[in-house]
A and B are shown apart, each in its own frame.
Chain A
């Protein structure tokens, strides 16, 4: 099925470790986003990309880096994980071409930093 695929689905990290979350979409969408979801806080935008090779900061970018070397992939990196980064991470994509400005979300990555 077409959509947004996130890997891994679950991960436990020790404080100070690094990791990369992968997001892949097969809908040829131009825009891609990384959000984190925390209880009582909704979804907050970490970084986003409006096209291949471009990225920009969102609402809560500190401690994260991103790259979009290919249109279909958007990577989220944690260089030195902290317990405050324990969260559920969602990737999403969208396209103006469809005339529908809604996001297609992945199923999420649950990250625990101990």
Chain B
């Protein structure tokens, strides 16, 4: 029940296309859902995050869509660029005061020029 399942494992998209990465969770106590971006040799960096009281959040070309009833959330990267090529992790946490994250297994995105 503590798992966060992420798909696909890898994704190849043409420049200018839309990249979509999906995550699903079981624990309804999760109340914070961030996405992290990681470039090779670097630590993950917070990209965008959402709380379950909203269905969508947009920041620039990045959008999180959240479906509370289905217990799913997804990251959409519009107008994907080669510089977006990275590994993306979804995560979920319970606001119990510690904000421990459960991470998905990651999606390696490659955007072709």
Contact = CB atoms under 8 A, between A and B. Distances in A.
A48 B45 CA distance: 19
Contact of B98 (A31, A92, A106): A31
Contact of A41 (B32, B41, B42, B105): B105
Given A102-B49, A103-B46, A107-B41, A31 B105 contact: no
Which size bracket describes the interface of A in this complex?
20 to 34
Contact of A31 (B32, B43, B46, B99): B99
Main secondary structure on A side of the interface with B:
strand
A42 B105 contact: yes
Given A48-B100, A50-B97, A101-B32, A42 B45 contact: no
Interface of B: 6, 9, 32, 34, 36, 41-46, 49, 89, 93, 95, 97-101, 103-106
